[in-house]
Amino acid sequence: MQRKQIAIITGATSGFGKIFTEVLDDQFSKLDELWLIGRRSDVLIDMSNELHHKTKLIPFDLKRSENLQRMKGILKKEKPAVKFLVNAAGFGLTGYMEEQQPEELAEMIDVNCRALTYLSRACLPYMARNSRVINFASVAAFMPQPRFAVYAATKAYVLSFTRALNCELREKGVYATAVCPGPARTKFFERAEKYEQAGSYKELFMVEPEVVVEQALHDSIMKREVSVYGIPMKIMHVLTKVLPRKWIFSFLA
């Protein structure tokens, strides 16, 4: 019996996760199901009514360990063929770390790093040749960022982890891509700016999230380990490699 082919998308109720869901629904007719993971069951239900594919709605808060274990159990029970794993769930907080709540910082690490790692490992036994892991990092991954310290550190982890994972999976024919977007018009900053407004430079580089997702999917299909949309962000990527860190810190401040 042929296993059903699925895509799993975390953070599916908003932002990059929601758009990735819509793009996969529109462009990949051979997928049997879309498994949508998000915290709000009402939004998941509304989304499923708009999609062409059959959906499995998983209203999990990924910072909770028991939900990660339940997800592993669902995979073990259904044994699907995971063609896409899109880890798009995550959040950040701007401002001085000492002014932020320790619990919030721990939750940021749990969602951005621990859940992403756990789900990647849980899905690997169900991924065959030409499957894809797409992990959302950020241009913040390219260097430490004062007043965005924990978020940038979590995304540096995602970038490093994804690059290494891509190398490990090469012989299996499974490919991992780290997506490193700059500022995009999502609801990210509504939560991120709880303590402090992000730098004014963000408006200079703001893009629509749809173009980031299109580039990410293209780069994943092309087996690229890193996806960076737009010339400004690509230039920034290069500059972080060649400019003294204190110069970049001065700009970010």
The chain-wide mean pLDDT, for the chain, equals 91
Instruction: Determine whether 202 is exposed, middle or buried from the number of CB atoms within 10 Å of its CB (0-12, 13-18, 19+).
Output: middle
* Band (247; pLDDT cuts 50, 70, 90): low
User: Where does the pLDDT of residue 191 fall: very low under 50, low under 70, confident under 90, or very high at 90 and above?
Assistant: low
Terminal CA-to-CA distance of the chain, rounded, Å? 58
pLDDT above 90 covers what percent of the chain? 75
Please write the tens of the pLDDT for every residue from 110-133.
999 999 999 999 999 999 999 999
Among candidate residues 7, 85, 105, the one with its CA nearest the CA of residue 52: 7
Q: Quote the pTM value.
A: 0.91
Q: Which pLDDT belongs to residue 84?
A: 98
Domain map of the chain by residue range?
Answer: 5-252
Q: Are strands 81-87 and 132-136 parallel, antiparallel or unpaired?
A: parallel
User: Could you tell me which residues are beta bridge partners of residue 184?
Assistant: 207
Q: How does residue 214 score in pLDDT terms, banded at 50, 70 and 90?
A: very high
pLDDT single digits (tens) 42-82:
999 999 999 999 999 999 999 999 999 999 999 999 999 99
Q: Please indicate whether residue 150 or residue 197 has the higher confidence score (pLDDT).
A: 150
Query: What does the pLDDT read at residue 233?
Result: 79
User: Cα torsion at 57, 34, 123, 118 (round to 10°)?
Assistant: -40
Q: How many CA atoms lie within 13 A of 173 on its CB side?
A: 7
Q: 33-37 and 132-136 as β-strands: parallel, antiparallel, unpaired? A: unpaired
Q: Is the pLDDT of residue 200 over 70?
A: no
pLDDT exceeds 70 at position 243: no
pLDDT at 149: 93
Which listed CATH number (3.40.50.720, 3.40.50.300, 3.40.50.2000, 3.40.50.2300) goes with 5-252?
3.40.50.720
% of the chain at pLDDT higher than 70: 89
The CA distance from 148 to 158, in Å, is: 16
With 90 as the cut, is the pLDDT of residue 239 above it?
no
